[in-house]
Amino acid sequence: MAEPENMMEKVSTRPQTAPAAAPLRDRLAKLRDSDLWYSFRAHPSAIFAVVLLAFVAITAFLAPLITPQNPYDLAALELWNSEIPPIWDAEGQWPYLLGTDTQGRDILSAILYGSRISLIIGFASVLLALSVGLALGLVAGYFGGWIDNVIMRVGDVLLSMPFILIAILITAIASASLPTALKDVLAAPILIFAIAVPSWVQYARTVRASAMVEARKEYVQAARLIRVRAWRIMLHHILPNCMTPIMVAATLNFGLAILSEATLSFLGVGMPPDQPSLGTLIRIGNQYLFSGLWWIVVFPSIQLCLIVLSVNMIGDWLRDALNPKLR
C-alpha cells in the first residue's frame, strides 16, 4: 500500500508548479494580442530605434569584455600611442579602430564606457524625477486645497528659471560644499540630483491633472465610502489611469536627460576627465577640433546623437500608439 500513497503524493504535487507559470504565459499572450504590440510590429522606425538603443546599451554595459583597454586605468594608457588616427587611415593601428586621443586613450573604449555613464545618469535622473513627480502630483490632485497650491507654486518657481541654470547652480553648490576627495566620487549622484530637481514638475503637473479628473469619478467615490485608505486609492485606482501620458513623457525626457548630462559635462560641471561621459569626451575633443584630431570629438558626438535619436523615435512611436484618437 506504500506505492499508491507515493503515487498520490507525486500526482498531488505536480499541478502546483503549473499555476506559477500560468500568469507569465497569460501576460505574454495578452502582450502579443495587444494593440501596442501590433503598432510596434507595424512601425519600422520604432523597431529600428529599439534595436539601435538595445545595441548601444548592450555594447556599453559589456564594454570591459569587448574593448582593448580600460580608459579609467591610467596604468593602461601609453603616451607613445597617442593621437593615432582611425584604423582606415594610413597611419591607423590595430586595435585602435577609432584612433586614440592625446593621452593614448582608445576612442572606442572611451565612447563605450562613456555611453554607460550617460545611460545610467539619464535613466537614474528620469527615475528619480518620475518618482517625485508621481508622488507630488497624486497628492496635489487627490487632496487639492493648500497642499495643491504649495506643490504647484514650487513647481512654478522651478519652471520660471532655465533648466540648465538650475542644474549648474546645484552642481556648483555641491562642489563648493563637498571636500575635494569626494567631488569626483559623488560626481554622478550630484548630476542625477541636479537633472532630476527641475524635471519632476512636468510629471507632477501631468499626474495632477489626471488625478483631479479621476478623483471625481464614481469608482473613487465608492472607494472612499467604504473607507479605503487614501494612499491605496491613489496607487491602485488613480495612478494606473494616469500612466499613458507619463510613459510618453518619461521616454522623451530620457533623451533630454542624457543631453542635459552631456551639456553639463561639456561646460565642465559634470563628470571629471578621469570618468569620461560622452559630454566630457566631447568637451576634451573640442579643444583639438581644429588641430587635425577630428576623431576625438566627432565619434563621441555621433554616439550621443544616435542615443538621443533612438530614444526620441521610441517616444514618438509611444505617443502615437497610446493616443486613442489615432487608433
Q: Is 202 left (phi over 0), alpha (psi -120 to 50) or beta?
A: alpha
Residue 326: pLDDT band (50, 70, 90) is: low
The pTM assigned to this predicted structure is 0.81
Angle between helices 163-177 and 243-266 (to 10 degrees): 60
End-to-end CA distance of the chain: 64
Contact 170, 194 (CB under 8 A): yes
Residues 6+ apart with CB under 8 A from 132: 196, 200, 203, 204
**Residue 234 corresponds to which cell in the numbers above?**
491613489
- Per the prediction, the chain carries an average pLDDT of 80
Render pLDDT for 143-165 as a digit per residue (tens, 0 to 9).
878 888 898 898 888 888 888 88
Residue 14 has what pLDDT?
A: 46
Q: What pLDDT score does 17 carry? A: 45
**Cβ atoms 118, 279 nearer than 8 A:** yes
- Helix 163-177 crosses helix 187-196 at what angle (to 10 degrees)? 150
Closest by Cα among 10, 240, 272, 17 to 138: 240
Q: pLDDT tens, 283-320?
A: 888 888 777 788 888 889 999 999 999 998 888 888 87
| Contact (Cβ atoms closer than 8 angstroms) between residue 45 and residue 313 | yes
Round to whole Å and give the CA distance between 60 and 326.
36
Continuous H helices in 85-199: 107-143, 145-159, 163-177, 180-183, 187-196
Cell numbers for 133, please give them.
Answer: 513627480
Q: What is the pLDDT of residues 46-87, one digit of tens each?
A: 889 999 999 999 998 988 888 888 887 777 777 777 777 888
Dist. CA 205–CA 217, nearest whole Å? 19
